Every structure is written in structure tokens, then in C-alpha cells.
Structure 1
Amino acid sequence: MATRTAAQRRQEARAEYDAFLAACPARDLLETISDKWVSLLLTALADGPRRYSDLSRIVAGVSQKMLTQSLRSMERDGLVSRTVTASVPVRVDYALTGLGEDLLPLMRAIKDWAESHIEQVEAARASYDARAAQS
């Protein structure tokens, strides 16, 4: 086995978590957190724990399948916790974990940016589409 210098070891460590590389584990995480449902669910949980049915109402358009898949993915990644309370009917609450709370300001900022810039984006899209139609 070849001996590596400290600089080589640091370079290798940096490469391990370079999201531009296809095999980087951070790339999978970026894929998860860039999902529209994940970003909307994170911001929906900002005010505290919510039941599945509450999340379904708050995040319009999400199917039961996508809501379930997104929440499971977020739970697996440590962004949300799932608490089951034995009652009739069974109560299931979802809440942000510390990791999810760390991510929340970024997601909230992206959501706010999208809401405040949508008119400019729509104008740019219309302009692009008009130019493309003339080509």
C-alpha cells in the first residue's frame, strides 16, 4: 500500500463529499432536499408537529403516495421524526428534528424567493417562448 501525504489525504477527503461527482453521497441528499414536496413539507412543519392529514391539507396537490414517500424519505434522512400515539384512531404526528430545523431557514428562503419572484420568472418564460416560437 502506497503512503500518502497529509495533503493527499485532505484532497481525497474533499473529493469524497464533492456533490459534483456522481458517486458522492451528498448528491443523493441534494436530490432529496431539492424535491418540491420535501421543501414544502419542511416549511409546513416550521410551526411545530403536524398530523398526516394536516400536511395533506396544507400542501395542496400532493397525493397520498407522494406524501407518504416524502415523509418516509425525510424520516430516513433524519429531517423529521414520526410519533405514533395509541388512540382511536391512531394518531401520527410529524415534527422537524434538529437536522430539519437547521435546513428550514434555507428552504424557507427558497420558498420566499420563489413566491416573490414568480412574476419575473413568468415574464422571462413568456419572452423565451415567444422567441423560440419565432425561430
Structure 2
Amino acid sequence: MIKKEEMPLCDVATKVQLVGSKWKVLIIRELISGPKRTSELKRSLIGISQKVLTESLNSMIEDGLVTKLDLKKVPPHVEYRLTHLGESFLPVIEAMRQWGSYYKSQLT
């Protein structure tokens, strides 16, 4: 996890640093409904490459937003889920959804 002294002074910049990519925000959106396997995430995130998905998940694990659970099965079976800290981002996702809906309603 990033140390406090390594974070930007600006709180908005902190959010952008942690989940500034569209893929990270969409990964959180997908994990809201519960744990997902890598293949489930890849299917639901149209256009994401395996490399970007893996890098994003690893970064989010390092930042304490997501956990990886190895179910020790053959073939390998891992699931990703939001941590308590990751779940605290849900109001932000909801606000983004509401704003997106509002924006679309304003288009002619």
C-alpha cells in the first residue's frame, strides 16, 4: 500500500492516482456485485486487454482496494473482491452514474 507521505497533497489528485484510469473505475463497478474471476471481469469489460486487466488488478491489490483469493483448486481458481476500503468508493461510483445519466438527459 502507498504510504501517506507518498500521496499527493490534493485529495482529488489522490483519487486520480488510485483509480484514475477508466478500467480501474469499471473494475470497481463490476466488483460491487460480489467476487469475480479474472475471466468474468475480462468478459464484462469489453475492450480491456489481459495485460491491462492484470496490471490494474495488481495495482489495486497493492493500493488496498481489492483482494485476491486463491481457492486452491485445479485448474487454478482465483477471485477478486473489493476490500472495505474499496467498498468505500461505491458512493463515488453512484455519483458518477447519476451524473452520466444527467448528462445524457441534457443531450439533444
Q: Give the shorter-chain TM-score range.
A: 0.7 to 0.9
Unaligned runs of 5+ in 1: 1-15, 21-25, 124-135
Q: Quote the offset at 1:57 in angstroms.
A: 0.8
C-alpha spacing 1:65/1:108, structure 2 compared with 1 (3 Å):
farther
Length-normalised TM-score, structure 1: 0.66
What secondary structure does 2:64 align onto? coil
Length-normalised TM-score, structure 2: 0.80
Q: What does 1:71-90 align with in structure 2 at a 5 Å threshold? A: 71-90=57-76
Q: Quote the offset at 1:46 in angstroms.
A: 0.4
Q: Identify which of structures 1 and 2 has the higher relative contact order when contacts are C-alpha pairs closer than 8 Å and 6+ apart.
A: 2
Whole-Å Cα distance in 2 between the matches of residues 31 and 118 of structure 1? 27
- In the TM superposition, what whole-angstrom CA distance separates every residue of 1:4-55 from its partner, at most 9, and x where no partner exists? xxxxxxxxxxxx86218xxxxx735522312100100001000110100001
Whole-Å Cα distance in 2 between the matches of residues 106 and 29 of structure 1? 10
Q: Which has the higher helix share?
A: 1
- Which of the pair has more CA radius of gyration? 1
RMSD: 2.3
Aligned length: 102
Q: What fraction of aligned residue pairs are identical, expressed as a percent?
A: 37
Unaligned runs of 5+ in 2: 1-6
